[in-house]
Amino acid sequence: MKRLGGKTALVTGASRGIGRGIAMRLAADGATVGVHYGSNRDAANEVVRAIEAQGGRAIAIGAQLDTVHGVNALLEAVQSSLLPLTGNDKLDIVINNAGVGTSSSFEETTEQELDRLLAVNVKAPFFLVQQALPILNEGGRIVNISSGVTRIAYPHIMAYNLTKGAINTFTLHLAQLLGPRGVTVNAVLPGIVDTDVNAAWLRTPEGQAHASGMSALGRVGEPSDIADVVAFLVSADGRWVTGQMVDATGGSHL
Catalytically annotated residues:
160
Verify binding: residue 126, ligand NDP, rule CB under 6 A.
Answer: no
Among 30, 40, 118, 152, the residue binding ligand NDP under the rule CB under 6 A is 40
> Which residue, 29 or 66, has its beta carbon nearer to ligand NDP?
66
In contact, 216 and 38? CB cutoff 8 Å = no
Question: Rounded CA gap, 63 and 41, in Å?
Answer: 10
Verify binding: residue 122, ligand NDP, rule CB under 6 A.
Answer: no
Question: Rounded CA gap, 163 and 149, in Å?
Answer: 10
Verify binding: residue 100, ligand NDP, rule CB under 6 A.
Answer: yes
Piece in contact with ligand NDP (CB under 6 A), picked from 14-22, 23-31, 87-95, 105-113:
14-22
Verify binding: residue 193, ligand NDP, rule CB under 6 A.
Answer: yes
Verify binding: residue 250, ligand NDP, rule CB under 6 A.
Answer: no
Among 37, 126, 127, 170, the residue binding ligand NDP under the rule CB under 6 A is 37
Chain centre to alpha carbon of residue 7: 17
Question: Rounded CA gap, 196 and 165, in Å?
Answer: 22
For residue 218, what is the DSSP state? S
Minimum CB distance to ligand NDP, residue 174 (Å)? 17
In contact, 237 and 186? CB cutoff 8 Å = no
Verify binding: residue 217, ligand NDP, rule CB under 6 A.
Answer: no
Count the helices and strands in the chain (H runs, E runs).
10, 7
Among 4, 8, 17, 27, the residue binding ligand NDP under the rule CB under 6 A is 17
For residue 121, what is the DSSP state? I
Verify binding: residue 47, ligand NDP, rule CB under 6 A.
Answer: no
Backbone angles phi, psi at 163, to 5 degrees: -65, -35
Question: Rounded CA gap, 254 and 252, in Å?
Answer: 6
Residue 176's CB: how many other CB atoms inside 10 A? 11
> Which residue, 44 or 175, has its beta carbon nearer to ligand NDP?
44
Q: Which residues are CB-contacts of 87 (< 8 A; sequence separation ≥ 6)?
A: none
Verify binding: residue 198, ligand NDP, rule CB under 6 A.
Answer: yes
Among 97, 168, 184, 215, the residue binding ligand NDP under the rule CB under 6 A is 97
Among 2, 6, 39, 69, the residue binding ligand NDP under the rule CB under 6 A is 39
- 224 SS3 class: helix
Minimum CB distance to ligand NDP, residue 124 (Å)? 7
What are the residues binding ligand NDP (CB under 6 A)? 13, 15-19, 37-40, 64-66, 97-101, 120, 145, 147, 190, 192-193, 195-198
